[in-house]
């Protein structure tokens, strides 16, 4: 039986690396990318569906094997806390339900280090609430939650404060064996390995130190 991957957030820092791994790997016969705008990426296995994420239930799909969720933004870019929560909480939950309705067996998603629904930090709280609700509802048999620390890599949408943090992290990583950040490309590799090689029922969480080890096998 041919396997089909569904990905959302393929234009982002991690998603752009991940979609290429999915396309170039032998595991999937088709990769479907849900996105707001068109894609410049061309590949015989890639199908791009331009959608309104507020109307995910209107999307028609073939049978799906695995769902990769790389959706995420910042409060500044979203424009408000409410808009941020819609993108980082409501859309991923809706995506999981969509994947489940088309038979998906595995949902692989990026949240963040420190995600905690009891956190006083709004960003961490929202990410934690997402994790809790994914685990509680368990609409897909296997859910893998990837929790990277500071993502390192080149962004097309430069973020000044984050850029300073990345420069500091990159410098400090030279002096600390475990590092305080992780390359976005390594997160993508880890997600690819977890999605194509791991088979653990229920909800699993993977932190940066483990993600680096998993990525090293790719």
| Domain assignment of residue 31, yes or no | yes
For position 17, which CATH number holds? 3.40.50.720
Burial class of residue 15 in the structure, from the number of CB atoms within 10 Å of its CB (0-12 exposed, 13-18 middle, 19+ buried): buried
Residue 169 is assigned to a structural domain of this protein: no
Closest CA to 107 of 34, 24, 202: 202
pLDDT value at residue 1: 55
Please state, in angstroms and rounded to a whole number, the distance separating the CA atoms of residues 101 and 139.
9
DSSP letter (8 states) at residue 199: -
Is 173 a domain residue?
Answer: no
pLDDT digits (tens, 9 = 90+) for 116-146: 999 999 999 999 999 999 999 999 999 999 9
**From CA 194, how far away is CA 174, in angstroms rounded?**
27
pLDDT reported for residue 176: 39
Which run of H or of E encompasses 197? helix 184-197
User: Does 86 map to a domain?
Assistant: yes
Q: Is the residue at 171 inside a domain?
A: no
Does any domain span residue 190? Answer: yes
Domain-embedded: residue 170: no
| 67: enclosing H helix or E strand | strand 66-69
**Cross-strand pairs, 54:** none
Total domains in the fold of the chain: 1
Residues in the chain where the model's pLDDT stays below 50: 158-178
Domain encompassing residue 194 = 4-156+183-215
Placement of tokens 């995420």 in the chain: 72
Other CB atoms closer than 10 Å to residue 55's CB: what's the count? 9
Q: Tell me if 146 is assigned to some domain.
A: yes
């Amino acid at each position: 039986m041919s396997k089909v991957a569904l990905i959302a957030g393929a234009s982002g820092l991690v998603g752009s690396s991940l979609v290429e791994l999915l396309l170039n790997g032998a595991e999937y016969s088709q990769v479907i990318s849900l996105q707001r705008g068109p894609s410049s990426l061309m590949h015989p296995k890639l199908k791009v569906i331009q959608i309104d994420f507020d109307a995910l239930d209107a999307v028609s799909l073939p049978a799906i094997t695995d769902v990769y969720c790389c959706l995420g933004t910042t409060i500044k870019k979203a424009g408000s806390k409410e808009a941020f929560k819609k993108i980082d909480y409501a859309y991923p939950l809706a995506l999981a339900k969509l994947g489940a309705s088309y038979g998906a067996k595995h949902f692989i998603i990026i949240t963040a280090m420190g995600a905690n629904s009891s956190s006083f930090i709004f960003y961490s709280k929202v990410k934690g609430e997402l994790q809790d609700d994914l685990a509680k509802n368990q609409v897909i048999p296997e859910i893998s939650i990837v929790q990277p620390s500071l993502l390192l890599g080149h962004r097309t949408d430069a973020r000044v404060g984050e850029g300073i943090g990345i420069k500091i992290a990159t410098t400090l990583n030279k002096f600390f064996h475990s590092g305080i950040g992780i390359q976005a490309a390594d997160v993508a590799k880890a997600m690819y390995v977890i999605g194509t090689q791991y088979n653990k029922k229920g909800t699993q969480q993977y932190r940066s130190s483990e993600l680096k080890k998993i990525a090293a096998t790719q």
